[in-house]
């Protein structure tokens, strides 16, 4: 049976890249998302659907009869520190989606998206069920993984944990880092080596494709981090800077960046956008290393180099990215829909 791919959350950053990749391979596609696609060319694949609405999902699954599912739909930021209901579509939405998947014998396999944030920075998990989330977002993704394991799926399932993913269609980089760099206002804190787990989105999509086509015994019931091998953060920042402004990034003392970040916290409290806060500062000066060896051993090295990825992202940025409208609907509490069980 040829592949018929259903993607939940295909209107977002990673989802847009997944849809485009399989579109180019002439794979029949369906994107279920409560937001319109970032790329208007993908409207033909999109059906409006809230994954909290099981009845609508069931109807759309019935119409499309997917053979493969990539479940990306989620609230992916870490902005809400207190109310786990703000992330209800992550864990409860996954649970509802999996219940629908179980009803369709046509589905051969599913990839369920978790996150590296199921373990905090500096914590190396000893096994797939060794969690240490440090945000509500990370906790909802831990619950997502547990729901996947407990769902009793008849199809093969694989969990992926994306690292910090970047590339075309990432509006976070478009709206903050790239604008600041182009204005000559970006400075990196000190020249201290900081190792981070980043991933070019083209490599993540390639890894997803490998999992959808791999022998079942290689992927069924497995957890894989997706992205690139951990790297010196300075290499990534310099690669972006050279492509974006034609020269390497500038460095300033760490204490000065921290002071600026404290000011950014005040502006954030006042709802005034600012490119750096103490949270962003900690990210810039702290190691965050995730275990990519299992993924590379299973599927090989991903095809995109750092330089190629940086070039592709800047090309996207310079060719109409300013016309892309960011999604406004991210919190299930914002939607007055009748969520059917």
Q: Which SS3 state, helix, strand or coil, does residue 331 take?
A: coil
| Inside any domain, residue 129 | yes
Predicted confidence at residue 161, as pLDDT, reads: 98
Predicted confidence at residue 1, as pLDDT, reads: 59
Residue the block writes with tokens 């290499």? 235
Could you tell me the residue range of the domain that residue 128 belongs to? 5-166+199-228+291-303+323-334
Condensed to tens digits (0 to 9), the pLDDT of residues 126-162 reads 999 999 999 999 999 999 999 999 999 999 999 999 9
| Inside any domain, residue 280 | no
pLDDT mean over 109-138: 95
| Inside any domain, residue 104 | yes
Query: Poorest-confidence range of 151-165, 208-222, 318-332?
Result: 318-332
| Inside any domain, residue 33 | yes
Query: Poorest-confidence range of 15-24, 90-99, 194-203, 286-295?
Result: 286-295
The two structure tokens encoding residue 96: 């509802």
Predicted confidence at residue 339, as pLDDT, reads: 45
| Inside any domain, residue 315 | no
pLDDT mean over 4-13: 98
Task: State the pTM of this model.
Answer: 0.91
Q: How many domains does the chain fold into?
A: 1
Predicted confidence at residue 218, as pLDDT, reads: 97
pLDDT tier for residue 336 given thresholds of 50, 70 and 90: low
Predicted confidence at residue 132, as pLDDT, reads: 96
| Inside any domain, residue 261 | no
Q: Is 295's pLDDT higher than 80? A: yes
| Inside any domain, residue 40 | yes
CATH number for the domain harbouring residue 25: 3.40.50.720
Condensed to tens digits (0 to 9), the pLDDT of residues 228-286 reads 999 999 999 999 999 999 999 988 888 777 788 788 888 878 888 776 777 766 776 67
| Inside any domain, residue 16 | yes
pLDDT mean over 303-329: 95
């Amino acid at each position: 049976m040829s592949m018929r791919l259903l993607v939940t959350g295909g209107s977002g950053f990673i989802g847009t890249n997944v849809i485009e990749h399989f579109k180019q391979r002439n794979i029949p596609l369906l994107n279920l998302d409560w937001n319109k696609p970032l790329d208007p060319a993908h409207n033909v694949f999109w059906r409006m659907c809230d994954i909290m609405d099981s009845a609508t999902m069931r109807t759309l699954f019935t119409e499309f009869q997917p053979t493969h599912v990539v479940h990306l739909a989620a609230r992916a930021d870490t902005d809400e520190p207190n109310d786990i209901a703000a992330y209800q579509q992550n864990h409860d939405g996954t649970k509802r989606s999996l219940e629908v998947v179980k009803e369709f014998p046509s589905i051969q396999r599913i990839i369920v998206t978790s996150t590296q944030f199921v373990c905090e920075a500096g914590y190396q998990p000893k096994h797939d069920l060794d969690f240490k989330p440090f945000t509500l977002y990370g906790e909802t993704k831990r619950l997502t993984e547990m729901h996947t394991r407990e769902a009793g799926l008849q199809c093969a399932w694989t969990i992926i944990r994306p690292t910090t993913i970047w590339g075309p269609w990432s509006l976070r980089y478009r709206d903050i880092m790239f604008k600041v760099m182009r204005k000559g206002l970006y400075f990196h804190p000190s020249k201290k080596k900081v190792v981070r787990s980043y991933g070019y989105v083209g490599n993540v999509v390639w890894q997803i494709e490998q999992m959808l086509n791999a022998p079942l015994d290689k992927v069924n019931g497995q957890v894989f981090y997706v992205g690139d091998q951990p790297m010196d953060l300075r290499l990534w920042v310099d690669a972006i800077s050279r492509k974006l402004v034609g020269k390497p990034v500038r460095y300033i003392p760490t204490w000065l960046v921290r002071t600026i970040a404290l000011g950014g916290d005040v502006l954030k409290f006042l709802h005034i956008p600012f490119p750096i806060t103490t949270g962003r500062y900690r990210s810039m000066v702290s190691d965050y290393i995730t275990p990519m060896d299992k993924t590379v051993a299973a599927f090989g090295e991903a095809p995109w180099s750092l330089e190629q990825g940086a070039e592709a992202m800047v090309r996207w940025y310079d060719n109409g990215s300013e016309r892309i409208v960011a999604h406004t609907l991210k919190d299930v509490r914002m939607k007055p829909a009748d969520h059917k069980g």
